Structures are given as structure tokens and as C-alpha cells.
């Protein structure tokens, strides 16, 4: 009987832990979206007002933005410096490698990769306008995510706990 009780406690704690994990993961997604927005605004400013080459602008973004997004721009700058290929190729490869660790949805990562395809070969005005369009889309997605986050951040641990209770009831 004591072993059953101990097992039920472990199941409850485990399922609640899974709910907390998903809560943290969803919160990180919103944080990464905010980092992407700040990074693109810095990149836009460096390109538009500082007339900074893309490689140096990416280095500046990586210094000013931390986390996964900063790491992404640091790797872009490093690969551009060593001339490892066209920007579009470097951007897409780095996005697939680095941003899969973040909580970006597949659709968001695809849009991010498309953004990289437009940078580097268009004139400055078109690059800046492309960044502005992407930032607007990102803001809309962030607003939607923030609206959902209030519900989801409370919901995930509760669902985890209730699923643990259900499992315990089924096993007893």
C-alpha cells in the first residue's frame, strides 16, 4: 500500500512538472519573439542610419542582444566574415541550426528564413522596408501570443496536475 501511495505521488509530481515545463517553454517563446523584434530594430537602425555593412551590423546585434537570438546573429557575422557562402544560405542554415532550440513555431521559423533571403542583395531601402514589414508581422503575432499566454500559462500546470490525478485514478 505504501508503494502505491509513493507511486501516486511520483506520478502527480511528474505530471505537474510536465505542466510547469510547458508553461516555461511557452513563456520563453514570447521572450524570444521580443528578442527577435529588438534585434531586427537594432539591425535596421545600424543599416539605415549608420550605413553599417551587414556583417558588422550582425556583430553589433549579437553584442546587444543575448540568448538564442544573439547567438544566431553572432554566428551569421562569423560566417559572413569567413565568406562561407551567400547570406541567404548562411541565414537559412544558421536558422535551422540555432533557432530550432528556441520556441519558435515552424511557421515563424519559415518566415524568419524568408527574411534572410531578402537581406543582402536588395538595396538598402528595400532591406529596411522588408525588416519593417517583418517587425509589424512579428508584433501582431506577439500581441496574439500575449493574449493567449494569460490563459495558457495558468492552464498548463493545471492540466498537468489533473492528468496526474486521472492516471492515479486509472491505476488504482
Determine phi and psi for 66, rounding to 5 degrees. Answer: -95, -165
CB proximity list for 126: less than 8 A, separation 6 or greater: 118
For position 158, what pLDDT does the model report? 86
pLDDT at site 2: 82
Q: What is the pLDDT of residue 83?
A: 83
Mean pLDDT, consecutive 10-residue segments, the chain of 172 residues?
84 89 85 91 90 87 89 90 84 84 76 83 83 92 86 84 86 78
Predicted local distance difference test score (pLDDT) of residue 102: 60
Cα–Cα dist 116/87, whole Å: 7
Amino acid at each position: 500500500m505504501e508503494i502505491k501511495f509513493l507511486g501516486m505521488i511520483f506520478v502527480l509530481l511528474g505530471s505537474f512538472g510536465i505542466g510547469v515545463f510547458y508553461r516555461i517553454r511557452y513563456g520563453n517563446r514570447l521572450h524570444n519573439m521580443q528578442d527577435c523584434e529588438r534585434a531586427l530594430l537594432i539591425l535596421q537602425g545600424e543599416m539605415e542610419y549608420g550605413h553599417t555593412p551587414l556583417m558588422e551590423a550582425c556583430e553589433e546585434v549579437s553584442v546587444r542582444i543575448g540568448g538564442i537570438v544573439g547567438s544566431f546573429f553572432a554566428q551569421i557575422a562569423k560566417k559572413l566574415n569567413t565568406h562561407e557562402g551567400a547570406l541567404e544560405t548562411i541565414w537559412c542554415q544558421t536558422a535551422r541550426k540555432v533557432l530550432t532550440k528556441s520556441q519558435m513555431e515552424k511557421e515563424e521559423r519559415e518566415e524568419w528564413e524568408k527574411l534572410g533571403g531578402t537581406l543582402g542583395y536588395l538595396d538598402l531601402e528595400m532591406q529596411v522596408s522588408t525588416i519593417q514589414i517583418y517587425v509589424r508581422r512579428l508584433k501582431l503575432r506577439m500581441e496574439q501570443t500575449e493574449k493567449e499566454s494569460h490563459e495558457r500559462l495558468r492552464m498548463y500546470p493545471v492540466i498537468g496536475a489533473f492528468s496526474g490525478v486521472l492516471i492515479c485514478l486509472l491505476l488504482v
